Amino acid sequence: MSTSQNQQIQILKAASSKINEVDFDNVTFGSVFTDHLFECDYIQGAWQTPTIKPYAPFLLDPSARVFHYGQAVFEGMKAYKDTNDSIWLFRPDENYKRFNKSAVRMAMPEVPETIFMEGLNELLKLDQAWIKKGLGNSLYIRPFMIATGSGVMASPSDNYKFMILLSPAKAYYSGEVKVLIAEHYSRAANGGIGAAKAAGNYAAQFYPTSLANQAGFQQVIWTDDATHTMLEEAGTMNVFFRINDTLFTAPTSERILDGITRKSLIEIAQKEGIAVSVRPVLVSELVAAAKDGSLKEIFGAGTAAVVNPIAGFSYQEVYYELPKTENSYASLLKEKLTNIQNKLAEDSFGWTVKV
């Protein structure tokens, strides 16, 4: 292991790489990690020296607040390599802003931009061999922060650990997705933490999603907590509905995550001349559109899958199959966005940032 100093980031290099042990053609999403990780501790009101070091487990006190009160936030983003071996990020400023918005909501310290961005850039440069070229290949990036202060008193921690992990990823395909519209469970509530990427949001989805799985569905479309009449998100993704030739999606709120893929697809759709309506979408509207044939598509949007088409939905024990649509908006928008991300098309929006 060698040690060097770069832009006040301490870099401890792994003695050897495990990259040759990885089957990049068959890697399971989020299961394999690169040789190094980035970490920086926040102790008693001050950020410490950031470090890049070999990927390895670390110790925490059993009374660390993250275990007892759930102070944990994260982000999801990707890096891409173009045909010239240059590395690109997609709208990293949006991930950075959302990360700190989540941190504030969870009473955690904001991470300085220099630590977040410079740490990420140096980590990507060090493990750049893990980023494979070609459409469908990427490096998934997981920045996260946890409360590490000890003690089981019910109050915010005084110490935190910010880390960045890297994981090689192939094109995400989950097969045909059938969804169940939630009639009882909710993803989030007004005044809650639905707009934050807090770890507990995702844990709370596992149980109702498992019930949907047992009933033969892959995901849940969440509805609002008060009336269960408004459609909000699909699983862990934002969701779009195509009725005739208009795309509908719910507005962001305290309950709905401000998805970066979501906002990008909206801008691309508008540029392509597709009508987009950002407003609350009622379950009754969706059912009526399915019955009269005007419902053409439903698809989720998020970092991992980019766009995930939905084959059909169930509501009140009635299943509605969607038509097989040629030249779907889902495929068009996914192609446009992934071409920008992979530098295969002009980025007229200025979204891509070179590392």
pLDDT at 325: 86
pTM of full prediction above 0.85: yes
pLDDT at 115: 97
> Each residue's pLDDT tens digit in the chain (355 positions)?
444 444 599 999 999 999 999 999 999 999 999 999 999 999 999 999 999 999 999 999 999 999 999 999 999 999 999 999 999 999 999 999 999 999 999 999 999 999 999 999 999 999 999 999 999 999 999 999 999 999 999 999 999 999 999 999 987 766 779 999 999 999 999 999 999 999 999 999 999 999 999 999 999 999 999 999 999 999 899 999 999 999 999 999 999 999 999 999 999 999 999 999 999 999 999 999 999 999 999 999 999 889 999 999 999 999 999 998 888 999 999 999 999 999 999 999 999 999 9
Q: What are phi and psi of 87, to 5 degrees?
A: -100, 135
Domains of the chain: 2-169 (3.30.470.10), 178-341 (3.20.10.10)
The span from the CA of 23 to the CA of 333, in Å, is 29
pLDDT at 326: 86
CB 82 within 8 A of CB 349: no
pLDDT at 213: 96
Alpha helices per DSSP H over the chain: 65-69, 92-105, 113, 119-126, 199-214, 260-271, 283-292, 329-341
Beta bridge partner(s), residue 10: 5, 51
pLDDT at 5: 42
Mind giving me the DSSP string for 47-107? E---EEEE-------TT-HHHHH--EEE--EEEEE-TTS-EEEESHHHHHHHHHHHHHHTT
CB 282 within 8 A of CB 229: yes
